[in-house]
Amino acid sequence: MENTQKIRVSIIILSWNTAKLLRDCLKSLEFEIFNLKFEIIVVDNGSQDKSAEMVKKEFPAVNLIINKNNLGFSKANNQAAKIAKGEYLFFLNSDTIVKESALEKLIDFLDHNQEVGAVSPLLLNEDGSYQIDPCFLRFPSPLRALVYYNKYLRTLFTKIFPNYLFSVSDYTNVSQVEQIPGAALMIRKNLFKQIDGFDEKFPIYFEDVDLSFQINKAGYKLFVVPDARIIHLGRKSIEPVIKKEGLDKFLFLNFNSLFLFCEKNYSKTKAQLIKWAIFFNLLLGLKLGLLKQLINQ
């Protein structure tokens, strides 16, 4: 008898030169106990480390998309979403290890809370501790930009006002948040389509912040479900780039995307105030080369 059960979730994993991490991530999914139908889509974004060959050989059931070049986070994930058949889309970084039944718990939460548009598991560091920064931040504001990008003010505010920068201070309970990280994000497919997916104008960084903003704008809520847990190793694709090109290159890309987010979603005045807050912090930190770069772009 033909199995007519619909696909509940499409797991979309983007990989760029992370063959070993990708293998571990896919293996962790094998131990998930599913009482539902699912599919896995891997997008290889122009890797040079034979990631695609590894997936073909070791995980033949995976739907593999091979891009000749690195299309970036937004475009490659949108590419996979267009062919996904699941009711839900689960965007997952390749540098993650999925803990037992994490996906089922996220799906169950969405099934029973129709006002919720997207959910995130609790992200853990490799040692099992909570991954707090930069997860579940509030949306940028001039004061938050001033505080967050100044390590002394950030430490002070986090201790005195734990909910000023972050939506969550208690990681043991289900919590509504303003934004959820793209490292592990489950969203209703119809909603993803409604808000036109990830904005491909973002070259790198803040794609997930913008997606979260559009979900809120569409009238849906976002939640973190701490019973669902995933280990996130973090920044494994970008680390070689930082080592090769320096931290200022990473910061330039990050701030550039922050400014793009603000210009897209905020008033001209608010966006400019956030930019000045960043410039002030760079001036205080004597990062004059980076400041000049950002001003002259």
pTM value is 0.93
* 123, 124, 126, 132 alpha-carbon torsion, rounded to 10°: 90
Average pLDDT of the residues in 105-114? 97
Q: Which residues contact 103 (CB under 8 A, 6 or more apart)?
A: 9, 11, 32, 34, 38, 90, 186, 228
Q: In this model, does residue 198 exceed pLDDT 50?
A: yes
Q: In this model, does residue 71 exceed pLDDT 70?
A: yes
Amino acid at 49: D
Q: Residue 106 has which token pair?
A: 């996220």
Cβ atoms 138, 260 nearer than 8 A: no
Residue 74's nearest CA partner among 256, 173, 235, 196 is: 196
**Tens digits of per-residue pLDDT, 169-183?**
888 999 999 999 999
**Tens digits of per-residue pLDDT, 6-28?**
899 999 999 999 999 999 999 99
Q: In this model, does residue 5 exceed pLDDT 80?
A: no
The whole-number pLDDT of residue 230 equals: 96
Catalogue all structural domains in the chain, each as residue range(s) with its CATH number.
1-132+171-234 (3.90.550.10)
Average pLDDT of the residues in 136-150? 96
Q: How far from chain centre, in Å, is Cα 42?
A: 16
Cβ atoms 44, 51 nearer than 8 A: yes
d(CA 222, CA 273) in angstroms, rounded, equals: 27
**Tens digits of per-residue pLDDT, 269-291?**
999 999 999 999 999 998 989 99
